[in-house]
Amino acid sequence: MRPHSQYPFSLIIFSIILILITTARTEEPAAKSFLISCGSSTGGTDSNGRTWLPDSKYFTTPSSIDTKNSTAKQQDPSLPSQIPYMSARIFTSSSSTFRFPVSPNTRHYIRLHFYPSTYDSSLDPNNSYFSVDANGFTLLNNFSAYLTAKALAKAYFIKEYSLVPAESGKLSITFTPCSKRHGSYAFINGIEVIAIPDLFTQPPPLVSTHQSISVANSSLQTMIRLNVGGQYISPDRDSGGLSRTWYDDSPYLFAAALGVTAVADKNLTIQYYSDLPEYIAPKDVYATARTMGPDNRVNLNYNLSWVFQVDANFTYIVRLHFCELFFTRNNQRKFNIYVNNQTALEGADVYEWTQSKGAPIYQDFVTFVVDVPGVDDQELWVELHPAVKTKPQYYDAILNGLEIFKINDSSGNLAGKNPTPSKLLLDSEAKKGNKKHNNLAAIIATGLVLLVAALCLLVYLRKKRKGDRNETVLGNWLAIHDSPNTTTECGHHKSGAGCSISTQGLLCENFSMEEIKLATNNFDESKVIGVGGFGKVYKGVIRGVKEVAVKRSNPSSNQGINEFQNEIYMLSKLRHRHLVSLIGFCQEDGEMILIYDYMANGTLQQHLYKSNKPSLPWNQRLEICIGAARGLHYLHTGAKFTIIHRDVKTTNILLDESWVAKVSDFGLSKTGPNMNQTHVSTMVKGSFGYFDPEYFRRQQLTEKSDVYSFGVVLFEVLCGRQALDPTLPTEQVSLADWALMNLEKGSLEDIIDPHLQGKISIDCLKKFAEIAEKCLSDNGLERPSMGDVLWTLELALQLQKNADAGKLEEKKKEKANDDSCILFDDSNYFHNKIAMTTGR
């Protein structure tokens, strides 16, 4: 489908160009480059080992009184090195120019380094407005480094431009303080000039024949450069000697839809095509990616989205870097690409393009960003969604790297307005910066939670005593719950008023839609903290004080009124330290909404592998498993009926602000067998990768199905990988099978989470693996009860603690004996080398 025939307005994607660069790889970038530390009389080396020279040789000014070299009064702790940020060249009145001799036929990167700080007590950093021109192009105008740094929430920043070749062989960069402001001045800390190959040669388009825009006579500004799903890549690790910086993409992801980060198998070599030069992007960019995740249902419900702040009235090139890391056939993973909410490409299939695993490729999209009056900073959206129409094997998408370049306008201008702070970036900075505050808040919150829990328990105990007599009220619920037919009718009511839920005998509150809308800012998309089969989960603040998770049903979801009522029924009756508390619900306007306690630390899965959160230590993982086991044990035995969870998995184990594990999502719960029945026969529900094989075969449900799923959870916690990873070789796809196979071969240690290598004592691991293995027994009767699982996990934790204590003791002893050589008995530890190095 051609975008411009479909969208005939100015916001249009002009061209889609699949680029396999045609330049020969031998065309290496010219070695000539300049690194100038401005205002410094000696120069020096930066944190990446690059040498910077003083600026005096390159710098001319009409009169020397207009300029000074100066040192910053304060060194911000985030500065990577003193060079080039701590010294600055300052211009107080007329324009001043830096001149560099450059080769006439090559493009150059110009990087301007700014550290807005106090350099001179007479100059206020917030009163510095200036323009920068280079060879006739306006790079910056009425520019405030102070406001820019504030908007980026950074102490220093770099502006990068790719300048058209200077035919004269001369490059001049001119700084002019803004004349309209009294006392305004210009400054610069560092300038890099680097000869680069042409990164925008025009190759024959492979995908479509759209008209393309020529960048040959234009200069570009790099807006963003991301190693998607990967880590920060410093200039010294860039390819082609271009010293680009590649950043982590997570601050730019929209809402909670983080997808999954993926890393190429160690065996896989990233192999550049013979005609794709390596300087396009380093291997590290292609070896990591972000995908949508293993769950087709979830993936259909969301877009993997990145949002960027850009300047209005400019044309942008969005360059997406791809590299298939897992699949080996066409149409296994096909997706659509949207740029600024327009379809940029349908049915993108990285394998189909390259016909090879590990082969990098990239694709450019061109979009014009219009000025929307009244909006300060325009946004540029990049979104990916499975191409459902083409019926791919997996509903998934992949992206490895992303760059956005701004093209100069017709008058050679690249300058935009000063930015205002981005909410997204500020949020992500605040999260990083406020850890300490959070700890204090967590302690207070824990206190409050315990207090509330104690009160709830009191209320519960009272109600329970009464509740036994209130059987009639609950009895209605049981009736609805046990015979689905009566409730399906209810589900078809438009208003939902016909079957509104009585709160009598329940411990939760019936909220009005108005209150819910207020709590979630009218279901603001940016408040989404999770997406599941049921619908979306929003973070909200109820009545302006209490943080809650609001689960809103998706009208088209399969999980209907039955589950909704099940959940209220179940949860309202159950109160336990290791179960997520239902606070209330809302059933208005035909919607079904559940309100839970907000769990500050999210799902267990997020802390195992699905994000870049720090890895949890082994003992904490054990404690979380023990908590979850306790919650399930309570479900199975603690209530009046046996309650089978039916969907035990790491995303249904949540963690509160003090890392207490809580089992959640009883939408699929069903009360278990009573005395004369040994199972509940029901439709197969649950999640792939966790299915009890027996349940799957016989469609019979017992609490031992939960035990099986919990066994999978235990291996997930141990191995730090997902239950089902279709991207792996066949024998590894199912974690349950893979773990059992390794256990049998005696090679379990090889597949445990690398973060845990050397940290688990032999005895603890043995117990842990033993119980996990039993949970996965094919025959339900052979599986332990949740009580046994709980007991064994507690034993495993004790064994670990003993080993830790023993190790510490021995280390102390050894240290006393011989301080220069630490040699402790490590027979208790796997991979003793790692244990020793971390121990020292």
- Count of beta carbons in the 10 Å neighbourhood of residue 469: 9
CA distance 705 to 378: 51
Length of the chain: 840
Q: Closest distance between ligand NAG and the C-beta of residue 67, in Å?
A: 10
CA distance 798 to 222: 54
Q: Is 551 annotated in some ligand binding site?
A: yes
- Looking at the Cβ atoms of 730 and 820, the one nearer to ligand NAG is 730
What residue is closest to ligand NAG based on CB? 412
Q: Closest distance between ligand NAG and the C-beta of residue 300, in Å?
A: 7
- Count of beta carbons in the 10 Å neighbourhood of residue 730: 8
CA distance 570 to 587: 17
Q: Closest distance between ligand NAG and the C-beta of residue 147, in Å?
A: 6
Q: Closest distance between ligand NAG and the C-beta of residue 167, in Å?
A: 8
Distances (CA, A) of 769 to 27, 708, 748, 762, 831: 55, 14, 9, 10, 17
**Cis amide bond preceding 693, omega within 30:** no
- Looking at the Cβ atoms of 109 and 824, the one nearer to ligand NAG is 109
CA distance 449 to 581: 11
Which residue stretches of 651-702 are H helix?
693-698
Q: Which strands make up the sheet holding 59-60, listed edge to edge?
A: 59-60, 96-101, 170-177, 130-134, 137-143
- Count of beta carbons in the 10 Å neighbourhood of residue 560: 19
- What's the DSSP call for residue 788? H
First to last CA, the chain: 61
Among all chains, which residue has been given the structure tokens 């929307």?
Answer: 372
User: Torsion over CA of 822, 827, 828 and 832, rounded to 10 degrees?
Assistant: 60
Going by their DSSP bridges, the two strands 44-45 and 51-54 should be labelled as antiparallel
The closest of 283, 387, 288 to 335, measured between CA atoms, is: 387
- Looking at the Cβ atoms of 375 and 440, the one nearer to ligand NAG is 375
Question: Which one-letter amino acid corresponds to residue 780?
Answer: G
Q: Closest distance between ligand NAG and the C-beta of residue 536, in Å?
A: 10
- Looking at the Cβ atoms of 205 and 467, the one nearer to ligand NAG is 205
Q: Closest distance between ligand NAG and the C-beta of residue 795, in Å?
A: 35
- Looking at the Cβ atoms of 370 and 805, the one nearer to ligand NAG is 370
Q: Which of 647, 665, 692, 753 is catalytic?
A: 647
What DSSP string describes 382-405?
A: EEEEE-GGG--SB---EE-EEEEE
- Looking at the Cβ atoms of 119 and 695, the one nearer to ligand NAG is 119
Both tokens of 4, joined, read 């411009």
Indicate left, alpha or beta for 544 from its phi (over 0: left) and psi (-120 to 50: alpha).
left
- Looking at the Cβ atoms of 214 and 274, the one nearer to ligand NAG is 214
- Count of beta carbons in the 10 Å neighbourhood of residue 650: 23
Q: Closest distance between ligand NAG and the C-beta of residue 371, in Å?
A: 4
Instruction: Calculate Rg over the CA atoms of the chain.
Output: 30
Q: Are 630 and 790 in contact (CB under 8 A)?
A: yes
Both tokens of 821, joined, read 């050589």
Q: Closest distance between ligand NAG and the C-beta of residue 383, in Å?
A: 4
- Looking at the Cβ atoms of 408 and 605, the one nearer to ligand NAG is 408
- Looking at the Cβ atoms of 42 and 504, the one nearer to ligand NAG is 42
Q: What is the largest CA-CA distance in the chain?
A: 100
Contacts 24+ apart (CB under 8 A), 231-236: 231/284, 231/288, 231/612, 233/282, 233/284, 233/285, 234/48, 235/48, 235/50, 236/48, 236/49, 236/50
- Looking at the Cβ atoms of 390 and 637, the one nearer to ligand NAG is 390
Is 647 known to be catalytic? Answer: yes
- Looking at the Cβ atoms of 122 and 410, the one nearer to ligand NAG is 410
Footprint of ligand NAG (CB under 6 A): 39-41, 69, 71, 87, 124, 126, 129, 142, 144, 147, 180, 214, 216-218, 265, 267, 302-303, 312-313, 338, 340-341, 371, 379, 381, 383, 385, 407-410, 412, 417-418, 729
Both tokens of 706, joined, read 């939960």
CA distance 236 to 49: 8
What DSSP string describes 203-235?
A: PPPSS--------TT--EEEEEEEETTS--B-G
Among all chains, which residue has been given the structure tokens 């498993």?
Answer: 625
Q: Closest distance between ligand NAG and the C-beta of residue 315, in Å?
A: 6
Q: Closest distance between ligand NAG and the C-beta of residue 160, in Å?
A: 17
- Count of beta carbons in the 10 Å neighbourhood of residue 836: 15
Q: Closest distance between ligand NAG and the C-beta of residue 214, in Å?
A: 4
Catalytic annotation, residues: 647
Binding site for ATP, residues? 551
Binding site, residues? 551
